Amino acid sequence: MHEASGTDDTLDAPGRRLLRFLVAYLPKIKLGAPETYVGYKEVHDALKLPMLANTYGRSLEVQGLVSLADWTVKTGKPGITGIVIDKIMNMPGPKYFKLFNRKREDFPWWRSEIEKSLEFSWQPYLNSDAPPSDDAGGESWTKEELAASVQAYLEMQQLDRDHKPYTKRKYYEDLAERFGRSAKAFEYRMQNISYVLSVMGRDWLTGLKPAKNVGANVAAQIEEFIAKFEGKAITPVAAFEISVRDNISKSDLPEPAGNQTPKASTASVTQYERDARVKAWILKKAKGICECCKQEAPFTGPDGRPFLEVHHVRKLAEKGADSTENAVAVCPNCHRELHYGQNSKSLVESLYERIPRLKRQ
């Protein structure tokens, strides 16, 4: 196998996305059999690219094909873009040969580039199996990739709640084929989505344990897509809380000056209409004892009653019912842990096991 050489610093995001797709496609290639190569439209459709020109070939050129081809020339890599062909002519466009200073009829050279592409070690240039980095500004992952990942995650979560069969691996593989990353990369990204949901105080999908290796900028984008696909207005919290996490992790954190005149902002949020009788019944039933930790309420409220809060076991934001079968009276500590705790899922399970009136929804 040929060794990787040169640098990939100049390859832009569209070019890298196309490279991942082409490397994943290489096993389908039969050397010297152009009918097994991939057409412009096929690549365009697989990556779900917008139509930016009057032909698929020209549209693909401005969405990674030219930048990837330039990169292979500048860094001395095999001409892998030669497997992208005009299916009518059964060969690459004239720009491919011109870029390498070859005549268009130089088929032996074209064949040799494909052979070298098949033997070359592309993995160091894909970044596809490592967990996603902080992705400052979302540069490594496009918004389209993040949106598709969030949409797939929420779809799996709904199927899980509805007790309908699904396979996580199938979702990862579909995304991998669409964007040219590995299935493992999308599994890691799903775990980042779990982490953002946990920061939001939301439930996350069992089997996708939250992974916190996600930066504030990407987390904010994930949060935005969650709100968009759920059709809800939210108060953003992810970027702020992850920035807090990152600052706490610093070995040297000097006392900040702060802000004596914090700016105010106005935002709309989705609120749920609740039944006061449900809250009253739950609190009356608890008799001042937290149904989670079984301790007395920590203090007395302004109404002179033991202060407990009502928590919906399946959260209202996750289509839970406002009913006595889905609500518990808990102390403020347990309430926060049920939303944000690392062991929130096990706490929920213990509630279902100990409180007969609760019903899974």
- Model pLDDT, residue 135: 45
What's residue 155's pLDDT?
Answer: 96
Q: What is the mean pLDDT of residues 323-327?
A: 93
Reply yes or no on whether the pLDDT at 128 is more than 70: no
Note the pLDDT tens digit of each residue in 161-215: 888 999 999 999 999 888 877 888 889 899 999 999 998 888 999 899 898 878 8
What pLDDT does 139 receive? 40
pLDDT of 259 > 90? The answer is no
pLDDT band at 9 (very low <50, low <70, confident <90, very high): low
Residue 280 and residue 260 in contact, taking contact as beta carbons nearer than 8 Å: no
113 in Cβ contact with 119 (< 8 Å): no
CA dist 160 and 226 (Å) reads: 17
Instruction: Supply φ then ψ for residue 71, to 5 degrees.
Output: -65, -40
Contact call for residues 92 and 82 (beta carbons, < 8 A): yes
User: Are the C-beta atoms of residues 329 and 290 closer than 8 Å to each other?
Assistant: yes
Question: 1.10.30, 1.10.150, 1.10.3470, 1.10.10: which CATH number matches 276-354?
Answer: 1.10.30
pLDDT at 8: 43
133 band by pLDDT with thresholds 50, 70 and 90: very low
The residue-averaged pLDDT of 309-313 equals 93
Residue 313 has pLDDT above 70, yes or no: yes
**Percent of residues, the chain, with pLDDT higher than 90:** 49
Residue 50 has pLDDT above 90, yes or no: no
Q: Where in the chain is the domain with CATH 1.10.30?
A: 276-354
- Which residues have C-beta within 8 Å of that of residue 112, sequence separation ≥ 6? none
pLDDT digits (tens, 9 = 90+) for 89-101: 999 999 999 988 8
pLDDT, the chain, mean: 86
pLDDT at 271: 67
pTM of the entire predicted model? 0.54
**Mean of the pLDDT values across residues 217-223?**
90
Residue pair 321/361 in contact (Cβ under 8 Å)? The answer is yes
- Does the pLDDT value for residue 18 go beyond 70? yes
Q: Mean pLDDT, to the nearest integer, of 121-132?
A: 66
CA distances in angstroms from 119 to 3, 189, 206, listed in the order given? 9, 29, 40
* pLDDT at residue 130 greater than cutoff 50: no
What does the pLDDT read at residue 296?
95
Residues above pLDDT 70, as percent of the chain: 91
Between residues 296 and 130, the one the model is more confident about: 296
Work out the pLDDT band at 292, boundaries 50, 70, 90: very high
pLDDT at 247 > cutoff 80: no
pLDDT value for 116: 93
Q: Residue range 57-82: average pLDDT?
A: 92
